[in-house]
Amino acid sequence: MATLHTQTAARFMMAPAVLLLLAWMLVPLSMTLWFSFQRYNLLMPGMEYFTGFENYRYFFSNPSFWAALFNTLYLVGGVLIITLAGGTLLALLLDQPIFGQGIVRLLVIAPFFVMPTVSALVWKNMLMHPVNGFFAWLARVFGFQPVDWLAQLPLVSIIIIVAWQWLPFATLIILTALQSLDEDQREAASLDGAGPFSMFFYITLPHLARAITVVMLIETIFLLSVFAEILVTTNGGPGTSTTNLTFLIYIQSLLQFDVGLASAGGIVAVILANIVAIFLLRIVGRNLEA
């Protein structure tokens, strides 16, 4: 139906978005790739030279890289488990008839709109503080020894904070998927004598599979680059116990000015994210056909 004339017009309309994104992707990425093969420190200008894979070798043989890689995996894995399990349960609960359903929904999704620096500082100080924090008070009320969260369990604390931010996202999306579940199907199943558990595992969960996968992939992409929460709470410490890949590269580039090494790290991060991205793109692409 589209005529030649409208196709030319369409191309012109798309050009700015496509060209800008292309530039935004290609220019910095090729610069990162180029830098990653250079010995290049901002503190020693004019001393750059080509070193081949030296940066990568240093990066991979550096224990803090492996620590950061594992911290990244724990962080992503921990937050995913909490938000997916919690989000599914919460969505099932909110799908029931409730008094004041709209208000409860608002309460549950609110954390998603809190900027990362605020949630991290509020949790760090007012909730997790070992002496004056709310949790410390709760612990003492119930007769436990208060936990110094960010000193004793730094990575767990970060996982809790980030999970609190992402739980609403998982809940909201799973709830949306839940509400599109065909009521007739449920009724047919219950007429056939399906109990609540077999109903959940044979009808509801398969229906949610797609939404859960989408949540998992999107969260992974964002969680791989958690940054602000770490910066304002632990600054990567104690030691390297809360340094993830993003934070390690930030230290290397903007604090130690080692452009070459940071770039090699950046390329590693890009490759990791791409592995996740391929799966997400497949799912979204399949949806586009439908």
Partner 1 sequence: MARAVSTRRKVAVSIIAWAIGLIIFFPILWTFLTSFKTEGTAIAVPPKFLFFDWTLENYFTVQERSDYFRHFSNSIISAVGSTIVGLIIAVPAAWAMAFSPTKRTKDVLMWMLSTKMLPAVGVLVPIYLLFRDFRLLDTHIGLIIVLTMINLPIIVWMLFTYFKEIPNDILEAARMDGAGLREEILYVLTPMAVPGIASTLLLNIILAWNEAFWTLNLTTTAAAPLTAFIASYSSPEGLFWAKLSAASTLAIAPILIMGWFSQKQLVRGLTFGAVK
Enumerate residues 114-173 that contact partner 1 by CB under 8 A. 114-119, 121-127, 131-132, 134, 136-137, 141, 164, 167-169, 172-173
Q: Does 80 bind partner 1 (CB under 8 A)?
A: no
Quick one: which of 97, 143, 196, 206 contacts partner 1 (CB under 8 A)?
Answer: 97
Stretch that binds partner 1, among 51-59, 75-83, 148-156, 174-182 (CB under 8 A): 174-182
Residues 28-47 that bind partner 1 (CB under 8 A): 28-29, 31-32, 35
Residues 185-214 that bind partner 1 (CB under 8 A): 187, 210-211, 214
Q: Does residue 238 have a cis bond before it (omega within 30 degrees)?
A: yes
Q: Which lies closer to partner 1 via its Cβ, residue 126 or residue 205?
A: 126
Shortest reach from residue 16's CB to partner 1, in Å: 5
Can you tell me the distance from the alpha carbon of 88 to that of 201, in angstroms, rounded to the nearest whole number?
Answer: 12
Q: CB of 171 within 8 A of CB of 94?
A: yes
Can you tell me the distance from the alpha carbon of 227 to that of 168, in angstroms, rounded to the nearest whole number?
Answer: 19
Nearest CA to 256 among 10, 74, 113, 43?
43
Q: Which residue has the tokens 């999704």?
A: 109
Shortest reach from residue 19's CB to partner 1, in Å: 10
Shortest reach from residue 70's CB to partner 1, in Å: 17
Q: CB of 95 within 8 A of CB of 207?
A: no
Quick one: which of 185, 227, 238, 239 contacts partner 1 (CB under 8 A)?
Answer: 227
* DSSP conformation letters of 109-142: HGGGGS-HHHHHHHIIIIIT-TTTSHHHHHHHHT
Q: Which lies closer to partner 1 via its Cβ, residue 155 or residue 264?
A: 264
Q: Which lies closer to partner 1 via its Cβ, residue 152 or residue 176?
A: 176
- C-alpha distances (whole Å) from 54 to each of 39, 246, 263 are 8, 21, 12
Q: Does 259 bind partner 1 (CB under 8 A)?
A: yes
Q: Does 55 bind partner 1 (CB under 8 A)?
A: no
Q: Does 254 bind partner 1 (CB under 8 A)?
A: yes
Can you tell me the distance from the alpha carbon of 222 to that of 214, in angstroms, rounded to the nearest whole number?
Answer: 13
Both structure tokens of 77: 């894995």
Helix axes 63-94, 154-179, angle to 10 degrees: 40
Quick one: which of 231, 237, 241, 256 contacts partner 1 (CB under 8 A)?
Answer: 231
Can you tell me the distance from the alpha carbon of 18 to that of 251, in angstroms, rounded to the nearest whole number?
Answer: 33
Stretch that binds partner 1, among 21-29, 48-56, 57-65, 191-199 (CB under 8 A): 21-29
Q: What angle do CA 263, 268, 273 make, to 5 degrees?
A: 120
Stretch that binds partner 1, among 51-59, 149-157, 195-203, 262-270 (CB under 8 A): 262-270
